[in-house]
Every structure is written in structure tokens, then in C-alpha cells.
Amino acid sequence: MFWYPPLLILVNALLPRPTQCALLERFEDLKRNDFDFVIIGGGTAGNTVANRLTENPNHHVLVLEAGGSNANAFVSMIPNFCARTLGSAIDWNYTAQTGPVMNRVVGLPRGFVLGGTSSMNCMAYTRGTREDWDRYAHVTNDAGWSWDNIQTYVRKNERFTPPADGHDTTGEFDPSVHSFDGINSVTLSGFRHQVATRVIQASKAMGNDSEFRFVLDMNSGEHLGIGFAQSTVLNGTRSSSATSYLGPQFINRPNLHVLLHAHVTRISSEETAHNGLTFTGVELSQDSGKTLHTVTASKEVILSAGSIATPQILMNSGIGDPNTLSNLGIRTLQRLPSVGRNLSEHLVLTLGWVVTANDTDSEAARNATLAAEQLRQWNETRTGPLVDAPDLDFGWVRLPKNASIFERVKDPSPGPNTAHIEIQFLNHGFTPEIPPPNLIGVAPTLLSPISRGFVTLNTSNPFDHPFINLNFLDSEFDLFALREGIRSARRFMSSPSFNGFLVSAVVNATTDDELDEFITATAGGACHPIGTAMMSPRGADWGVVDPDLRVKGVERLRVVDASVLPFLPAGHTQAPTYIIAERASDLIKASWS
Ligand SMILES: Cc1cc2nc3c(=O)[nH]c(=O)nc-3n(C[C@H](O)[C@H](O)[C@H](O)COP(=O)(O)OP(=O)(O)OC[C@H]3O[C@@H](n4cnc5c(N)ncnc54)[C@H](O)[C@@H]3O)c2cc1C
Ligand SMILES: *[C@@H]1O[C@H](CO)[C@@H](O)[C@H](O)[C@H]1NC(C)=O
Ligand SMILES: *[C@@H]1O[C@H](CO)[C@@H](O)[C@H](O)[C@H]1NC(C)=O
Ligand SMILES: *[C@@H]1O[C@H](CO)[C@@H](O)[C@H](O)[C@H]1NC(C)=O
Ligand SMILES: *[C@@H]1O[C@H](CO)[C@@H](O)[C@H](O)[C@H]1NC(C)=O
Ligand SMILES: *[C@@H]1O[C@H](CO)[C@@H](O)[C@H](O)[C@H]1NC(C)=O
Ligand SMILES: *[C@@H]1O[C@H](CO)[C@@H](O)[C@H](O)[C@H]1NC(C)=O
Ligand SMILES: *[C@@H]1O[C@H](CO)[C@@H](O)[C@H](O)[C@H]1NC(C)=O
Ligand SMILES: *[C@@H]1O[C@H](CO)[C@@H](O)[C@H](O)[C@H]1NC(C)=O
Ligand SMILES: *[C@@H]1O[C@H](CO)[C@@H](O)[C@H](O)[C@H]1NC(C)=O
Ligand SMILES: *[C@@H]1O[C@H](CO)[C@@H](O)[C@H](O)[C@H]1NC(C)=O
């Protein structure tokens, strides 16, 4: 494991306290308990919808967030510290089974704080490819989800900003595919790390016919190749849905109400005159269930609790598979067996190399003086090595067309221009040695898994964690592709451009059997769960929401978060989540105009 010096106390003592926004802590402080819209979860998607719906001063919107304010969560602010948010006070600390092949229990981090997982993620900004979005349009039978049609929402979300060190970014991205006037900041690396430069040099040296060719902008819709990472960072500090969509220029809107420490237990329904079910009441507690409060939404309830809590809240509200619900004594109000099913997650592992570079994260991990110096620099100027998110460059590669697996398994990728494997380039690695030598990490990630897991209720107590099974490596394809991903990463690292840089490889598993053992023992989830309240075409007898994100068969209830994605994008999931939330906001506004 990576070793961190005891910095957190230092962080708390050193950093300025950001101004506290007008956020409510106690239910009693709410001036009303009826709203036009109630949003469950002040996370990535929830805060986006809250911002957009309150653009209309007549819409009174309440956001209910189980966690606390992000303002004092310093560990969340510093991009390089993202890994330290895991298991911290702002993590839900879920655990998940990995299924019979891996047979391990893994942590499944999720943000327990305003901003949700955007307050603890590693900030990589990747939209997925044109083929990913065109597949969403195809499988939902709604052209509104196509790549061309979501561009409006990409642009509403993104505000491309200069990097923390203000360097000239010509040749590092394609400005024509970016927006400079959206809300959430996206930027390029603000510190020159040696590994990042080496990777780009190696890619360019391999030429345009190489599988590792340089790609100027992986967010253009076509990502194959290797290029510079873009991250949701602003002036050296994390840009989350809390700092952006609920930023100082928005949070004081008189029609926007945010209640923290508000754990939603269930959504309650009324039967309407025509026997349809209308979910208008939201039940919450601020004291683990001792006292329950109810608020009502006269227009809609928006469920944005994320891929784990959203299906949990649906099931606790009587929406799900009748067998599951009746076993726990919950009356089924709406039969939707797909709730919690089709859980899909990227699988990632890290290959470490000992390097000659003297600017890896290991330097600070073994030298407390240097670590304190870096922190002071960040505190005083928002510059230096801490301004960057962990991913410095990314590679996107496909299995060869003639890979033997395709004789037996249909290619699960959405098309020929979308990667099966991502390669993440990191300025740290993992060894048992403490203190660690200078390490870099190269992390092959399976983008198009065939395996599907599930989330279900473990108990009917809404304060208990649900039961999660990721069911990794349930398909022969998944193991094959990750094995080839490791080989692909090594092919790239064997480029002569790395001569004099790489000292030794930490991982030496080579044969299929050795690789399978290594994968089974060390791979884990990339923290991108989706699919548990998936979209399907209107009228389909599977799926949880229609393409306009309304829960099937009931009224006035929508799901807006990562759980609605029917397939994983070939990339990290926050940008797609913001895009979904931006489009959802327009769909909701249109319903009530
Ligand atoms: C460690 C980590 C690293 C990641 N790195 C990246 C990355 O680099 N790039 C990327 O694109 N993606 C990354 N992701 C994934 C990405 O952040 C998520 O896919 C995305 O933020 C999900 O957004 P969401 O709106 O679906 O859920 P969330 O942002 O999790 O929002 C859900 C909100 O609901 C609240 N909530 C839950 N239950 C209740 C309840 N009962 N009552 C009230 N509130 C409730 C939660 O506290 C939370 O605030 C990472 C995730 C993690 C955990
Ligand atoms: C951190 O920054 C604040 C001002 O932003 C300053 O008051 C404080 O002294 C700084 N601490 C250190 C150790 O630099
Ligand atoms: C997660 O674990 C940390 C460390 O033990 C703890 O501080 C935090 O309160 C836990 N999160 C929740 C939601 O309980
Ligand atoms: C690779 O393609 C880019 C962009 O099309 C071009 O600028 C560059 O010269 C090409 N490199 C080589 C080695 O052909
Ligand atoms: C970011 O930094 C730039 C340049 O210093 C400054 O103009 C801008 O106001 C800063 N933005 C925020 C939100 O602090
Ligand atoms: C899972 O998704 C597939 C489409 O990818 C669908 O056919 C199937 O019915 C879904 N399964 C469940 C249990 O909803
Ligand atoms: C790191 O190495 C570079 C040369 O590659 C050198 O210029 C620099 O001084 C070194 N830094 C430290 C802290 O040793
Ligand atoms: C630790 O870092 C400090 C500050 O950069 C430096 O002066 C010192 O030489 C480093 N110590 C070691 C043992 O490398
Ligand atoms: C795939 O084709 C390449 C040449 O295009 C060849 O070198 C390789 O051996 C083939 N692999 C398999 C598994 O057939
Ligand atoms: C599920 O509930 C059982 C019994 O209450 C408990 O022992 C177990 O730890 C729970 N599992 C999870 C994932 O919370
Ligand atoms: C692989 O690495 C391990 C641990 O570093 C080492 O003990 C072993 O000898 C290596 N095996 C080979 C074949 O190089």
C-alpha cells in the first residue's frame, strides 16, 4: 500500500476557512415543508439540477443531502490528495462483494458530503465517445441522447480554464471541442511531472499508425491513442458540483434550499383519481431514524442519490422486484424487477515501475519536510505538485480485430473507434517497501466489461448499507481483455523513449496463468458503478426509467444520476453524469413550462 505521512492535522491547521454558504443544518430551519421540486442527494447530478431549476425564480427547490458541508473538507480541495478522501469522514464506506471468481470484499467509496462523489473523486474529465452516446440513443430509442444532441449539455456544464501554472497549452488540447462559459471548471495539468512528459514524448515518437499514437483531444468523440489528461480543477483546487453549481453566485438564490445531514429514508405515494401512483412525499431523518420528517413536492421528486443509494431508496419505497421486497416485508407499489440489477463497473489494476524521476509522489511520501513545503506552496499560491489530479495522461486502446476472444464473444464495445482498455498514467505506484522508492503507476482499466452485478437491500432499515455484488470477471471476455490490457501497457512502456527512465518493473507476472492470478488478486473497481436504475425505451418490460428519466409506471418521480446509464461509457463517469443532469434539467423544465 501507498504510505502517507501524517499530514491531515497539518492540513486542518494551515488552511484558510472558506466562507460558509447559506446551507441549512436543521430541519427546523426550513421556512416551509412544501416545495415545487425536492431533490434527493446533493451530489454530482443533484446540485446540477438544483442550479438549473432555480434559474426560474418561481420554482422552489429543496435539496436533501445526507452528508455535511464540503466547505471544511480540506482533503477534498487539494487535487493530489484525492486518494486520501477514501475511508475519510466524507466517504459512505460501502463494501462490496466481488463475486465467485475474485471472491474478495472491496471498498466502494461514495461521497458523503455536499457535492457527493464529485467532492471525493479523482477529477478526471472524460466524456465518453461518440459511439458511447450514439449507443445510449439507440438502446433507449431516444435520439436526444446521441453524441450530436448532447453537445449543448456538454457546453452548459464545461468551463475550460487555464492551468494552475498558467503555461501555454497550445498542442495539449483542441479548443474547438471545448466550452469556455459553462459552470464546472475543466483544465490541463498545472505542474510538469516527468512521467507525464515522457509518456507524451513516447507516444509522439511511435507515430500516427501506432496503437499508441498521440491524440490531441480525447474528448472530441474519438479518443483512440494517448494524450494529456483534463481534470475538473479550477486554479489548483477541486471543482465539484458543490463549488461550481452551488458556488457563491448561486447559493443565495431565495428559491434554493439545501438541507444537510438529511438522510432520506423513502418516498411516499398517494393514489391519484385515475389509480396511478404519484410519489410526492419525501421522508427524512436527521437522527438516524429517531425522528422522521416529511416534505412534499408539488411538481416532482428528483432522485439523485447515486448508483448505490438510488436503488436502495426505490426499494425501500416499494419500487422494485416483488420477491426481494416481500422477503423483507416491504409492500410492492410498483413492480420493476430491474431496480438494482445490471450494475456495471470498470475493473482496474496498477502496474508499478521504479523510475529515475525525482518528482514522483513517493518523494513527498518519504520526506515530511518536502511534503510540508508542497502543502505550504499549495496553500499560499495554489501552485506546485499538489494542483494535479492523479491521472496525468491517458491512453485508449482496442484489442486487435483478430483477437481470439472474438471467435467466441461478441465485441461489447459500442464501435470500432472506442477503446476496450484505458491506460491511466500516475505519478505513484504500490510496493510493500516503506518508505517507497520512486514509483510511477500504469493502470490498465477494462472499459467494456460484460459482467453485471447487483445492489439489493440487506435489511429493510434504510440506515443499513445495501448488499452490493460487483460480480467481476463473470465473463471470459473481461479476464481476456484485462490480460491483453496489461500486455498492451507493457508494450507501450517498452518503447525506447523510456530508456534511462525505467529502472525496474514491480510486477512481473507474464504467462496467462500468472496474469490471471495477478488480476484476480489485485484488480478492483474504478469507482464508476452505473446501471442500477437504467434507462430503457418507453414501454419496455425491463429497465427502471424511461428515456426522459421518469420512473416507469409512476408519476412525478425521476431518477437523475449515474445509475440511469444502461452501459458504462468508455471513460470516467462524472462528465456523463453532469451531461445527464443538464439534459434532465431541460426535460423537467419543459414538462412544467
Ligand atoms: C474515489 C473515486 C474516484 C473517482 N474518480 C473519478 C474521476 O477521476 N473521474 C470521473 O469522471 N469519475 C470519477 N469517479 C466517479 C464519479 O465521481 C461518479 O460517477 C459521479 O460523481 C456520480 O455522481 P452521482 O450524481 O450519480 O452520485 P453522487 O455524486 O455520489 O451523489 C449522490 C448524493 O446523494 C447523497 N445521498 C445518498 N443517499 C442519500 C440519502 N439516503 N439521503 C440523502 N442523500 C443521500 C450522497 O451523500 C451524495 O451526495 C470517482 C469516484 C470515486 C468514488
Ligand atoms: C495558509 O494560507 C493562509 C492565507 O490564505 C495564511 O493565512 C496561512 O498563514 C497559510 N499557512 C501557511 C503555513 O502557509
Ligand atoms: C467512514 O469512515 C470514516 C473513518 O472511520 C468515518 O469518519 C466516517 O464517519 C464514515 N462514514 C460514514 C458515512 O459513516
Ligand atoms: C501525426 O498526425 C498529426 C495530426 O494529424 C500531424 O500533425 C503529425 O505531423 C503526424 N505525425 C507524423 C509522424 O506523421
Ligand atoms: C482563477 O485565477 C484567475 C487568474 O489568477 C483569476 O482571474 C480568477 O478569478 C480565478 N478564479 C477563481 C474562481 O478564483
Ligand atoms: C439488463 O440489461 C439488458 C440490456 O443490456 C436487458 O436486456 C436486461 O433485461 C437487463 N436485466 C435486468 C434484470 O433488468
Ligand atoms: C531532479 O532532477 C533534475 C534533473 O533531472 C534536477 O534538475 C533537479 O534539481 C532534481 N531535483 C531534486 C529535488 O533533486
Ligand atoms: C527532504 O526535503 C527537503 C525539502 O525539499 C530537502 O531539503 C531535504 O534534502 C530532503 N531530505 C531528503 C532526505 O531527501
Ligand atoms: C493478428 O494479426 C496480426 C497481423 O495483422 C498478426 O501479427 C497476429 O499474429 C494475429 N493474431 C492472431 C491471434 O491471429
Ligand atoms: C447484512 O445484514 C447482516 C445481518 O444483519 C449483517 O451481518 C451483514 O454484515 C450485512 N451486510 C452488509 C453488506 O451490510
Ligand atoms: C518476480 O518478482 C518477485 C518479487 O519482486 C521476485 O521474487 C521474483 O523472482 C520475480 N520473478 C521473476 C521470474 O523475475
Across the range 199-215, mean pLDDT stands at 97
Question: What is the CA(86)–ligand 3 centre distance, in A?
Answer: 10
**pLDDT at 199 (0 to 100):** 98
**Where would I find the H helices in 386-541?**
476-493, 512-522
Q: Is the pLDDT of residue 472 over 50?
A: yes
The per-residue pLDDT of the chain, averaged, comes to: 95
Question: What is the CA(93)–ligand 3 centre distance, in A?
Answer: 6
pLDDT band (50, 70, 90) for residue 276: confident
pLDDT band (50, 70, 90) for residue 432: confident
What are the tens digits of pLDDT across the range 306-318? 999 999 999 999 9
Question: What is the CA(498)–ligand 4 centre distance, in A?
Answer: 21
Report which ligand 1 atom has the smallest distance to the Cα of 390: 8
List the residue whose alpha carbon is closest to atom 10 of ligand 3. 89
| Residue 572 bears catalytic tag | yes
- For residues 454 and 540, give the distance between their C-alpha atoms in angstroms, rounded to a whole number: 20
pLDDT band (50, 70, 90) for residue 19: very low
383 Cβ closer than 6 Å to some ligand 5 atom:
no
Across the range 23-27, mean pLDDT stands at 96
Which residues partner with 453 through β-bridges? 343
CA-to-CA dists, residue 592 to 51, 298, 434, angstroms: 16, 11, 59
Calculate what percentage of the chain has a pLDDT beyond 90. Answer: 93
**pLDDT at 273 (0 to 100):** 60
- For residues 170 and 398, give the distance between their C-alpha atoms in angstroms, rounded to a whole number: 28
Q: Is the pLDDT of residue 113 over 60?
A: yes
Give yes or no for a contact between 564 and 532, defined as CB atoms under 8 angstroms apart: no
- For residues 584 and 563, give the distance between their C-alpha atoms in angstroms, rounded to a whole number: 13
235 Cβ closer than 6 Å to some ligand 5 atom:
yes
Lining ligand 1 with CB less than 6 A are: 40-46, 64-67, 86, 109-112, 116-118, 120-124, 262-264, 304-307, 309, 313, 527-528, 561-562, 572-575, 577
The dihedrals phi and psi of 497, each to the nearest 5 degrees, come to -60, -20
Q: Which ligand is nearest to the CA of 453?
A: 6
Q: Is 369 annotated as a binding residue?
A: no
pLDDT band (50, 70, 90) for residue 270: confident
- 91, 117, 312, 465, best to mutate for ligand 3 pocket (most atoms within 8 Å of CB): 91
Across the range 147-163, mean pLDDT stands at 98
Q: What are the counts of helices (DSSP H) followed by strands (DSSP E) for the chain?
A: 14, 27
What are the tens digits of pLDDT across the range 117-151? 999 999 999 999 999 999 999 999 999 999 999 99
pLDDT band (50, 70, 90) for residue 12: very low
**pLDDT at 2 (0 to 100):** 35
**Cell numbers at 452, concatenated:** 453485471
pLDDT band (50, 70, 90) for residue 16: very low
Question: What is the CA(121)–ligand 2 centre distance, in A?
Answer: 25
What are the tens digits of pLDDT across the range 328-361? 999 999 999 999 999 999 999 999 999 999 999 9
Number of CB atoms found within 10 A of residue 150's CB: 23
List the residue whose alpha carbon is closest to atom 8 of ligand 10. 458
Of 59-68, 167-176, 228-237, 274-283, the range with the lowest mean pLDDT is: 274-283
| Residue 261 bears catalytic tag | no
Q: Is the pLDDT of residue 62 over 80?
A: yes
- Give the DSSP H or E segment for 581: helix 574-591
Give yes or no for a contact between 310 and 563, defined as CB atoms under 8 angstroms apart: yes
Across the range 475-503, mean pLDDT stands at 98
370 Cβ closer than 6 Å to some ligand 8 atom:
yes
Query: Rounded to 5 degrees, what angle do the CA atoms 11, 14, 15 make?
Result: 80
Calculate what percentage of the chain has a pLDDT beyond 70. Answer: 96
The dihedrals phi and psi of 338, each to the nearest 5 degrees, come to -80, -10
pLDDT band (50, 70, 90) for residue 272: low
